[in-house]
């Protein structure tokens, strides 16, 4: 479940109002349990007991990246849906820094809901800080990165299939 930390007047932060669209309201959002589809029709594993027998650090990192990119796509869609909602503050997903540090420390690569934060961009007079140009750029870049990660994961599975055929 994705959660947002809303700034309050006591925090000295920007105003926040409940979003008009239910999908963007973090208190109403339910976990869809949707995981990225990988070649062969399987889903990216999220639990330890679901992880495939044949895996390595690269595959685990790619699965985590796909999860983070999916989360970014959802938050960007919510931002666009609430572009005219007074007081709505855009969400931002930054999973790359966490993923990078986990990999550098030799930890298992995982992306959690803590990667979602509110944008600190300036607000308009109605308290909303969603910019359609920024959101469109983020959506396009996220789609390209998602495709790149899928291609890399597909390459890893192709190597495994090739090795299994020749043995």
pLDDT of amino acid 51: 53
Q: Is the dihedral of CA 144, 148, 153, 158 positive or negative?
A: positive
pTM above 0.75, yes or no: no
> Quick check: 44 and 35 in contact, CB under 8 A?
yes
pLDDT of amino acid 44: 52
| 2/93 Cα distance (integer angstroms) | 10
Task: Report the chain (167 residues): mean pLDDT per 10 consecutive residues.
Answer: 41 48 47 45 52 72 90 95 93 88 78 78 91 96 96 91 82
Instruction: Name the phi and psi angles at 108, rounded to 5.
Output: -70, 130
pLDDT of amino acid 20: 54
Instruction: Name the phi and psi angles at 52, rounded to 5.
Output: -70, 160
């Amino acid at each position: 479940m994705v959660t947002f930390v809303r700034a309050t007047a006591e925090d000295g932060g920007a105003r926040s109002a409940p979003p008009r669209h239910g999908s963007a309201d973090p208190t109403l959002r339910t976990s869809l349990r949707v995981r990225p589809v990988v070649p062969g029709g399987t889903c990216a594993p999220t639990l330890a007991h679901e992880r495939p027998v044949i895996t390595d650090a690269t595959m685990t990192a790619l699965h985590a990246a796909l999860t983070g990119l999916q989360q970014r796509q959802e938050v960007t869609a919510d931002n666009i849906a609430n572009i005219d909602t007074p007081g709505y503050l855009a969400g931002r997903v930054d999973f790359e820094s966490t993923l990078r540090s986990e990999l550098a420390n030799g930890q298992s690569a995982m992306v959690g809901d803590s990667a979602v934060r509110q944008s600190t961009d300036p607000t308009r007079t109605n308290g909303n800080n969603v910019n359609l140009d920024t959101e469109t750029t983020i959506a396009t870049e996220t789609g390209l990165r998602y495709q790149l990660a899928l291609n890399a994961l597909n390459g890893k599975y192709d190597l495994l299939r090739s090795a299994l055929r020749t043995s």
